């Protein structure tokens, strides 16, 4: 299962690793070997996240 890669990366990130997180979908994109746990934000490769954030109308949400 391809999702296992993300899970494995998440497990490994617990500790002295910096996390690179997509601010749009909150996915952990990558981990970096750093002193202490740090969080950085970078857009992932998803087209939905790379598109400019436009205020969307939540049709049908009401």
Evaluate whether 18 touches 32 at the Cβ level (below 8 Å): yes
CB of 25 to Zn ion, least distance (A): 3
Q: How many degrees, rounded to 5, is the angle at CA 5 between CA 16 and CA 7?
A: 60
Query: If binding means CB under 5 A, how many residues of this protein chain bind Zn ion?
Result: 6
Among the listed residues 25, 32, 37, 40, the single contact to Zn ion using CB under 5 A? 25
Query: In the complex with Zn ion, which residue's Cβ is closer, 14 or 25?
Result: 25
Contact between 30 and Zn ion (CB under 5 A)?
Answer: no
Decide the pairing of beta strands 17-21 and 39-41.
Answer: parallel
Contact between 16 and Zn ion (CB under 5 A)?
Answer: no
């Amino acid at each position: 299962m391809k999702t296992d890669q993300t899970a494995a990366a998440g497990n490994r990130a617990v500790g002295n690793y910096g996390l690179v997180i997509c601010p749009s979908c909150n996915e952990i994109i990558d981990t970096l070997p750093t002193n202490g746990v740090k969080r950085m934000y970078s857009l992932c490769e998803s087209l939905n996240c790379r598109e400019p954030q436009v205020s969307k109308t939540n049709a049908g949400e009401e």
